[in-house]
Structure 1
């Protein structure tokens, strides 16, 4: 188990930020927008592969951090682990700028079911040229599937970071990793507001779906 401090988390979060920045780079040419949700691209495919591989890695680290060791765990093992330890995990809603709300682990509430975007990822990975309803699987490399995968990684790492803070810095009021995501927030998450040097930097406005910045004179708002 390599997660023995908050600092040990940095390599995971920094990689998340790198993946997010790759998506933001693509958004310069294909804006993140409902109209583009079914747009597919080999750049999305590459990003989906990287994100889902990292999800597998972080789930394993999370299990080991909680003292659970399993040889070659799969998504069903992760589902059981999260259900047993975090009752609300599958029902969390991720606020996504310009796309309103995503629920990446929604289908986990169904028995023997994985998330639809995870199924699409496996179809792309293992049966890329196979056709479903006359459409090749690689065309499932869409903007929406990329956002679902990345929001899932964001949610997982945010949960993990909170657990690390509770173990290693119990008195810390900051329980969200920084630098924060430029795309996602967890809806009604109690730590959406970031506190640094006694100043609230930002909070996600759940109505306007935008970032609100706070100056020192309105910290108590």
Structure 2
């Protein structure tokens, strides 16, 4: 099996499973900004599972670009640095949630390599950058779920906003990696039902036909224009 197909079967199918779990929650809590702070045991489970998968996918992508990358000892700063070196737009890439809300889940996540006084390499955030809020929430509910900060228990951070943003981050990692592997790879798979990348037409189903003037045309189903080819 070639790497592209292996990636799709190993990572994209699992992403879709997680997405379907989140969609199922909308039967009880509507996707809406008024519900951003709504928390539940299912959101807790989803946040932990999604962020665990982000760690897995991040390491896999880093290993693809750096064959000597130490997956076993790597943390988000280490695999994040490798990804940013090879997929530079990861921190600026936005996605549109339910075709109406723009989310940039990796914003201000820029990492740089530094040397300590003993000339040992370490990684730190570029000035003004920080850990994504949804990742901080994941660590809070993972390691200190009952701790109270700012008058709220950490468990409350397992809310709809953090889960949606975490899944958006996983979606972007997968989509940008798929573009790197093959710019047309996304056309071959089941699409996300929640997210699209702006300015790309591979989220849409296409139809090829000949117009009345005899010109071959492509029609995109996702509110995109008819284009002559």
TM-score normalized by structure 1?
A: 0.81
Q: Does 1:131 align with 2:148?
A: yes
Specify the alignment match of 1:74 in structure 2.
75
Q: Is residue 205–residue 221 contact of structure 2 (8 Å, CA) maintained in 1? A: yes
Specify the alignment match of 1:170 in structure 2.
none
After the TM superposition, which segments of 4 or more aligned residues of structure 1 sit over 6 Å from their partners?
196-199
Specify the alignment match of 2:121 in structure 1.
none
User: Hey, what's the Cα distance between the residues in 2 that align with 1:98 and 1:193?
Assistant: 12
CA RMSD of aligned residues (A): 2.6
User: Hey, what's the Cα distance between the residues in 1 that align with 2:173 and 2:95?
Assistant: 11
CA 1:196–1:5 in structure 2 vs 1: closer, same or farther (change >3 Å)? farther
User: Hey, what's the Cα distance between the residues in 2 that align with 1:45 and 1:39?
Assistant: 11
User: Hey, what's the Cα distance between the residues in 2 that align with 1:159 and 1:177?
Assistant: 15
Q: Is residue 147–residue 153 contact of structure 2 (8 Å, CA) maintained in 1? A: yes
Cα drift, residue 196 of structure 1: 7.4
Q: Is residue 75–residue 114 contact of structure 1 (8 Å, CA) maintained in 2? A: no
Q: Is residue 84–residue 90 contact of structure 2 (8 Å, CA) maintained in 1? A: yes
Give the paired residue count: 202
Cα drift, residue 195 of structure 1: 4.6
User: Hey, what's the Cα distance between the residues in 1 that align with 2:155 and 2:54?
Assistant: 20
CA 1:145–1:156 in structure 2 vs 1: closer, same or farther (change >3 Å)? same
Cα drift, residue 87 of structure 1: 2.0
Q: Deviations over 1:23-59 (max 9, x none)?
A: 1100111011111111111100100111011111111
Cα drift, residue 113 of structure 1: 2.2
1:121 to 138, 143, 151: 138
Deviates more, 1:141-150 or 1:101-110: 101-110
User: Hey, what's the Cα distance between the residues in 2 that align with 1:103 and 1:157?
Assistant: 15
CA 1:190–1:202 in structure 2 vs 1: closer, same or farther (change >3 Å)? closer
Cα drift, residue 197 of structure 1: 7.7
Structure 1 unaligned spans of 5+:
167-172, 204-211
Q: Does 1:147 align with 2:147?
A: no
Q: Does 1:42 align with 2:41?
A: yes
Bigger-Rg structure (1/2): 2
Structure 2 unaligned spans of 5+:
111-124, 210-217
Specify the alignment match of 2:197 in structure 1.
186
CA 1:87–1:200 in structure 2 vs 1: closer, same or farther (change >3 Å)? same
Cα drift, residue 200 of structure 1: 5.2
Cα drift, residue 219 of structure 1: 5.3
